[in-house]
Chains A and B, each alone.
Chain A
Amino acid sequence: MIRDFEYLAPKTLEEALTLLSKYGEECKIIAGGQSLLVLMRQGLVAPKYLISIKGVSELNYINYDAKKGLRIGALTPHRAIENSPVIQNGFTALAEMERRLASIQTRNWGTIGGNLCHADPAGDPAPVLVVLKATLKMQSLDGERTMASEDFSLDYFETALGPGELLTEIQVPVVSPHTGTAYTKFNVIESDLATVGVAVSIILSSSNSACQDVRIALGASAPTPMRAKQAEEVLRGKKITDALLTEAGQIASTEADPISDIYASEEYRRELVKVLVKRVGKEALARAKQA
């Protein structure tokens, strides 16, 4: 049962930040509410004030600039990202990830910012943003700051947002040539949450040469989305082969820190990390070669 609350619906970012600052601990922000309302219906979250920022249209945008890269407003619905031509063409993995996120209904109303702030370690967007080297902009009445997306999630359902701060923008840098990015999640039901999710981004120094840089991010494999840095080391600077990808997968599976739950044991999740890093890495490599 949802407990009563007072409802505030700011129309601008300024208003939203003012209210957030005013009510502090007593309030909660709701964007699309696709995650929050589930918790509120179960009585797990019961704020005195609920600030709906769904109407802050200035935070709903997708802009691309050849120098600055992609800027996505935090209140952009998943569906807009999924259907955006600029993202489908230039940041394909992001659009592909969105296409398998929950359901169309959820994607129509839920926002990417809401998803990131909910900080479910099984969330799909975070690993993709991490390998795309995305940064997140946060604003408060006192100003703004930016941080790497991989630092945003601190623990299960806990983010680095400080008091009075709102996530306002997701910034994805321009993709270098010869970059390939891919994401896959393992589940038994196609559109389900990830049992394990893996994103890989590979930058080659030319279309068929050694790996200049690589990022491997794991979802649902630790309390937060995490980079498998040791696995990355296996690939960085080398000419990537199947054997190397297998090794990277093996290393990543030891770096991961997954839980055992009713869907999978820890052991099985590690196995999935191993297999998926190899497969997604291979896909990313193929895309990098074509890019």
Chain B
Amino acid sequence: MKKELNLTVNGQPYELYIKPKTLLVEVLRDHLGLTGTKRGCNSSSCGACTVILNGMSVKSCSILALQADSAEVLTLEGLANGAELHPLQKAFLDHGAFQCGFCTSGMLMSAKTLLDENPKPTAEQIKEGIDGNICRCTGYNSIIRAITDVVKGEYKEEK
């Protein structure tokens, strides 16, 4: 019954043996112990489980892991570059763009995808970019300010 799954997560290749009904989020959290990605609902609505699959933001609770066979997945644990935080992480810290932190993983993944696809989004596009992610704590505006600052180049590394 179990099937082989090969996928790369945060640059690391994995070979797993899983039940077909296993969701991608379960592979990440339960099999690989990467608990940064969260689950907040059972109706594919909240976005807390958002990860980046082959460069696209997706809800990992709504993808069968086997459908991600051979894919490259990025989770929050892979966002920083070693000890160097990603500009979005720094911006989130500076702007208080999170409070309880439970939605933050999904939020950062959506924000990263937004900027990867479009480095200069408009204010409306930024809002659209995170509209699939519910936050119950911040009221979103601090998150939008954080992303806006990254877009403006406030966190460009000094060369």
Contacts and interface: CB of A to CB of B under 8 A. Distances in A.
B67 A105 contact: no
Nearest to B109: A105
B66 A109 contact: no
Contacts, number: 85
A41 B64 contact: no
Interface residues of B, number: 30
Contact of B56 (A4, A7, A40, A109): A109
The dominant DSSP class at the B interface is mixed
Interface string B44-80: 1001001001001111011110110100000000000
A55 B57 CA distance: 18
Contacts of B64: 7, 30, 33, 37, 50, 52
Given A41-B42, A79-B56, A104 B131 contact: yes
B21 A5 contact: yes
Given A4-B21, A54-B67, A104 B59 contact: no
A37 B58 contact: no
B20 A4 contact: yes
A137 B70 CA distance: 30
A79 to B, nearest CB: 7
B71 to A, nearest CB: 11
A286 interface: no
A235 B78 CA distance: 57
A105 B128 contact: no
A33 B67 contact: yes
B58 A108 contact: yes
A191 B20 contact: no
A246 B133 CA distance: 38
Contact of B44 (A38, A55, A104): A38
B62 A37 contact: yes
Contacts of A4: 1, 19-21
A106 interface: yes
A190 interface: yes
A191 B21 contact: no
Contacts of B42: 38, 41-42
A103 interface: yes
Contacts of A41: 42
B3 interface: yes
B20 A105 contact: no
Contacts of B1: 4, 6
**A5, A105, A108: residue with the most chain B Cβ atoms closer than 10 Å:** A105
B53 to A, nearest CB: 8
Interface of A: 2-7, 9, 30, 33-34, 37-38, 40-42, 50, 52, 54-55, 79, 99, 102-106, 108-109, 190-191
Interface of B: 1, 3, 19-21, 23, 42-44, 47, 50, 53, 56-59, 61-64, 66-67, 69, 110, 113, 128-129, 131-133
14 contacts: A5-B21, A7-B20, A9-B67, A30-B67, A33-B62, A40-B21, A52-B66, A103-B47, A104-B110, A104-B132, A105-B50, A106-B62, A106-B132, A191-B131
Given A2-B23, A103-B131, 14 more contacts: A4-B19, A6-B20, A7-B3, A33-B63, A34-B59, A34-B62, A37-B61, A38-B43, A50-B20, A103-B47, A105-B50, A109-B58, A109-B63, A190-B131
